[in-house]
Amino acid sequence: PAGPDLVAGRGATAHGLDGHLPARPSPALSNMMIREVLLLSVSCAHALRISPSALTSRSRCAPPQCNLFGDFFDDKLSQQKLPERPLLPALIIPTATTYTLQEKLFSFSGEDFRVRDVAGNTILQISGGNVNIGGVVVDKLAFKTADGSKFCSVERRIIAASTCYDIYSADGKECIAKVEREWLSMTPKYKFYYEGDSNPFADFEAEGSFADRTYTFKAGMSTIARVRRESEVVNDVDTYVVEVGPGVDAAAIIACAVVIDEDHDEEDAKKKREEQQQGGGGWPFG
């Protein structure tokens, strides 16, 4: 029977129950225990790993991650998940494609664009203008195919917390998408939503250096398109190179690029007016 010290919990010392040192495990047994612990650690790590599909289970796309070298220097663009209602199905091509988006030199509104493919063929025509609605001037752009058939229009929303453009069907009766500038973000972002306000999750978004007009489009963690501005040959005539991945809704990417151009042109014009007001008449009078 156990003595009083052992019953009270004082008999189990470092020397064991019988007062002798416990036998030291053999080196082979120690190595086996270490190996088992390592295998158990690896199994736990795999079990706790989050799969990419888990990130997108609650939304259409995961939060984008910036990969500077991959975004701007990697030629590979990912394929976009085919939307239910693309802006122009004819521009969804199974291979990566490059387009040129250029402002028209002779334009009454200053907001007219032409889109060409690599062969120089005109693919889209975009005509812009200002519409007076109840005393408020609203930007409106009509998107047409090469033969002049209108397939959508883009209108700036009058009342919005941040820059927002609604995209309407060809007849103008239904809002089929929207482009919205995220104003709570530390860095500017433009988000594209199919179905407009009825869709709480952005299908893709643009991020990058908008001041330099160089940015990428991301759907989740995948880069699906890139846009960069080329050097101006003619003053105040912007030309953009638009690269889209396979299966990407190119018309939606181009619509975003036009919205970003319009938004930043307005910002630049506003800054110029403020500088002129603060600096007087400018050189040589300022």
Residue-wise pLDDT tens digits, 171-212: 999 999 999 998 777 788 999 999 999 999 999 999 998 888
**CATH number for the domain that contains residue 174:** 2.40.160.200
Judge whether 25 lies within some domain. no
Collapsing DSSP to helix, strand or coil, 205 comes out as strand
State how far the Cα of 271 lies from the Cα of 283, in Å rounded to an integer: 17
pTM for the whole thing?
Answer: 0.69
In a domain, 8, yes or no: no
In a domain, 3, yes or no: no
Give the model's pLDDT for residue 34.
56
Backbone torsions φ then ψ of 284, nearest 5 degrees: -95, 15
Residue span of the structural domain in which 94 resides: 62-274
- The span from the CA of 74 to the CA of 107, in Å, is 36
Domain total of the chain: 1
Whether 76 is in a domain gets the answer: yes
Q: Please give the pLDDT value at position 136.
A: 60
Residue 167 located in a structural domain: yes
| List of the chain residues with pLDDT < 70 | 1-75, 106-110, 131-137, 233-235, 268-269, 279-286
Give bridge partners of residue 129 from the DSSP assignment: 140
Tell me how crowded residue 174 is: count the other CB atoms within 10 A of its CB: 12
